[in-house]
């Protein structure tokens, strides 16, 4: 089992680093931390490194310099700390995150994982305050949702209500399990000709309000009204309004 250490360097920059990841071909890791000591987010850093440990134990591949890994919505990159910025030594992997995880094209990376954790918190908080049950499934921007053809980039801005149902367990890495549809009685969502697919990245760009809910478990159904979401847990006839208003812009 790994140990996770925190320290502050001479420039008052905090770092977190691992001890115990070493295995044939595997380097220890470090990440810069942008908040002060005794912050609750330290636990999120610990959870992240435990995820890394579990990931490494699940398969034979190692994480090496210049490799990337998806964590939640963001892409992370591992680089050798040649300049020993962490103070731990040059033979350690320093972790960087996408500067803009909502942008298309080749990613630009910045030090740390603060933004990555903030996005995870947005989705975790939505599940906690709406008392969801089941296994959370954190999607990536490249996964697809099945949507009805009446939801175009133009109509999704003002068409209400909109229904979102995580209706199936994803069968491959490219699927999210989400169906997004209009609520018009005269539109047949069982007709394949009335359906299409869209990457979640483009869906979120057009409709930021859906982002906090995208990690909800299979079986969850949401009804998006003008300023709020109504949450229906599996097998519940009546939904409850999310006490928090919809996002109107990307976080």
Question: In this predicted model, what pLDDT tens digit does every residue of 37-59 receive, in sequence order?
Answer: 999 999 999 999 999 999 999 98
CA distance 145 to 248: 20
pLDDT exceeds 90 at position 66: yes
- The pLDDT, as a whole number, for residue 197 is 97
Question: What pLDDT band is residue 23 in, cutting at 50, 70 and 90?
Answer: confident
CB 143, CB 158: distance < 8 Å: no
Positive or negative torsion for Cα 38, 42, 44, 50:
negative
pTM to 2 decimals?
0.94
Tally Cβ neighbours within 10 Å of residue 227: 11
Closest CA relative to residue 138, chosen from 199, 230, 212: 212
Under 8 Å between Cβ of 144 and 197: yes
For residue 25, pLDDT over 90 is answered with no
Contact 147, 203 (CB under 8 A): yes
Planar angle of CA 49, 51, 55, nearest 5 degrees? 115
Q: Phi/psi of residue 150, each to 5°?
A: -80, -10
For the purposes of burial, counting CB atoms within 10 Å of the CB of 222, is it exposed (0-12), middle (13-18) or buried (19 or more)? buried
Residue 157 has pLDDT above 90, yes or no: no
pLDDT of 171 higher than 90: no
Distance CA 67, CA 63 (A): 6
Q: How many beta carbons lie within 10 A of that of residue 72, not counting itself?
A: 23
Contacts of 126 by beta carbon, 8 Å cutoff, 6+ apart: 212, 213, 215, 216, 242, 244
The pLDDT tens digits for 100-148 are: 999 999 999 999 999 999 999 999 999 999 999 899 999 999 999 999 9
Per-residue pLDDT tens digits for 82-103: 999 999 999 999 999 999 999 9
199 in Cβ contact with 186 (< 8 Å): no
pLDDT tens-place string over residues 196-215: 999 999 999 999 999 999 99
Closest Cα to residue 175, out of 201, 202, 140?
140
């Amino acid at each position: 089992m790994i140990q996770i250490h925190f320290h502050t360097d001479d420039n008052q920059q905090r770092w977190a680093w691992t001890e115990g990841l070493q295995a044939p071909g595997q380097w220890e890791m470090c990440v810069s931390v942008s908040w002060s000591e005794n912050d609750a987010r330290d636990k999120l850093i610990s959870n992240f490194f435990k995820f890394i440990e579990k990931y490494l134990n699940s398969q034979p591949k190692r994480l090496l310099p210049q490799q990337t890994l998806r964590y939640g919505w963001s892409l992370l990159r591992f680089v050798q700390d040649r300049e020993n910025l962490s103070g731990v030594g040059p033979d350690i992997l320093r972790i960087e995150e996408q500067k803009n995880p909502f942008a298309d094209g080749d990613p630009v990376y910045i030090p740390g994982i603060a933004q990555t954790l903030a996005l995870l918190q947005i989705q975790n908080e939505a599940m906690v305050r709406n008392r969801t049950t089941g296994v959370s499934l954190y999607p990536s921007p490249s996964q697809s949702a099945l949507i009805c053809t009446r939801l175009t980039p133009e109509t999704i801005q003002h068409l209400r209500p909109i229904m979102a149902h995580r209706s199936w367990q994803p069968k491959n890495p490219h699927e999210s399990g989400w169906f997004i549809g209009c609520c018009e009685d005269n539109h047949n969502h069982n007709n394949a000709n009335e359906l299409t697919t869209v990457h979640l990245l483009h869906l979120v760009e057009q409709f930021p309000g859906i982002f906090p809910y995208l990690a909800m478990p299979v079986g969850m159904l949401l009804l998006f009204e003008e300023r709020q979401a109504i949450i229906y847990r599996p097998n519940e006839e009546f939904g409850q309004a999310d006490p928090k208003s919809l996002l109107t812009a990307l976080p």
